Amino acid sequence: MSNTVRTLRVPGRHGYAAEFSPYLPGRLACAAAQHYGIAGCGTLLILDQNESGLRLFRSFDWNDGLFDVTWSENNEHILVTCSGDGSLQLWDTAKATGPLQVYKEHTQEWDPTVGKSLCTFRGHESVIYSTIWSPHIPGCFASASGDQTLRIWDVKSTGVRIVVPAHQAEILSCDWCKYNENLLVTGAVDCSLRGWDLRNVRQPVFELLGHTYAIRRVKFSPFHASVLASCSYDFTVRFWNFSKPDPLLETVEHHTEFTCGLDLSLQSPTQVADCAWDETIKIYDPVCLTMPA
């Protein structure tokens, strides 16, 4: 791994999710919780990076743990977090206090201009851990669940389009390939990553093995069609090229606790951010992303 690792320690806050701003190079959001998310409050951290490292730009507290965060795609200041109390919070980084709005319709899709859910999608038989919009098909999204399935949905019809029995274990994360509208990846408690071609879901098109505990999050690269990254309760972040016979590119071991948050920058082809239960947030450039593919 590159020697330049920018680290911010946040005492008493355990990191659950990290996401780069799609607008501002170097800006990062992190969702965190007290007491490993079991009790206490949560904090949304907005960070900026410069030559000297990471600095805290703004932080917002919530009265329950915050477990995920995403930036608005039409306003550079707006973020959404989700909390252990079942609510969603809408924040504005241009304001020192917040949230702007709180949505208490658990598990439902919503529109901030409407103020209530637009549709409700039912079908999963257990906890839903991860959802992702298709970057290719408007109104289409995927969800991963503790019921061991990956499901594909369309907002035009509230019924499920495709059900993929993807693992024989809880699925904690999924992502959609930026370069292939039919390709998704799942990461599960069985320590495996599996790629799925929606045109034929009987067998995975690839399986990536190496993690030794549950995979918490998986992200496709925005810059390399066959590269993805995963983080795990085994404290590592791993980088893979699923098109290669030996797919594991690099293993990063710079956390000392469960690594839960992971993102790849949309602005820089080499930059990665992660966060963990060890109270640290890190931005770095893995060697494998700085070398020609």
- Residue-wise pLDDT tens digits, 106-143: 644 456 666 778 888 899 999 999 999 999 999 999 99
Three-state helix/strand/coil letters over 61-114: EECCCEEEEEECCCCCCEEEEEECCCCEEEEECCCCCCCCEEECCCCCCECCCC
pLDDT at 108: 42
Q: Please, is 9 exposed, middle or buried when counting C-beta atoms within 10 Å of its C-beta (0-12, 13-18, 19+)?
A: exposed
Helix, strand and coil in the chain, % to nearest 5: 0, 50, 50
The tokens for 208 are 């990536």
Distance of CA 30 to the CA centre of its chain: 11
Name the β-bridge partners of 82.
68, 88
Q: Residue 38: its pLDDT value, please?
A: 86
Nearest in space to 76 (alpha carbons), one of 62, 98, 93, 96? 93
**Which parts of the chain register pLDDT below 70?**
1-3, 106-114, 292-293
In the beta sheet, which residues pair with residue 185? 175, 195
Taking the C-alpha atoms of residue 29 and residue 79, their distance in angstroms, rounded to an integer, is 9
In the block, residue with structure tokens 């319709």? 105
CA distance 183 to 66: 29
Alpha carbon 161 to its chain's center: 23
* Amino acid letter, residue 122: R
Distance between CA atoms of residues 198 and 183, nearest Å: 7
Task: Please count the other Cβ atoms lying within 10 Å of the Cβ belonging to residue 86.
Answer: 12
Instruction: Give tens-digit pLDDT for 18-63.
Output: 999 999 988 999 999 998 888 899 999 999 998 888 999 999 999 9
* Helix residue spans in the chain (DSSP H): 287-290
Residue type, 12: G
Q: What pLDDT score does 129 carry? A: 95
**Pairwise CA distance, residues 141 & 162, whole Å:** 11
Residue 292: its pLDDT value, please?
66
pLDDT of amino acid 158: 75
pLDDT for position 52: 82
Entry pTM: 0.94
CA diameter of the chain: 51
Q: Which amino acid is at 100?
A: L
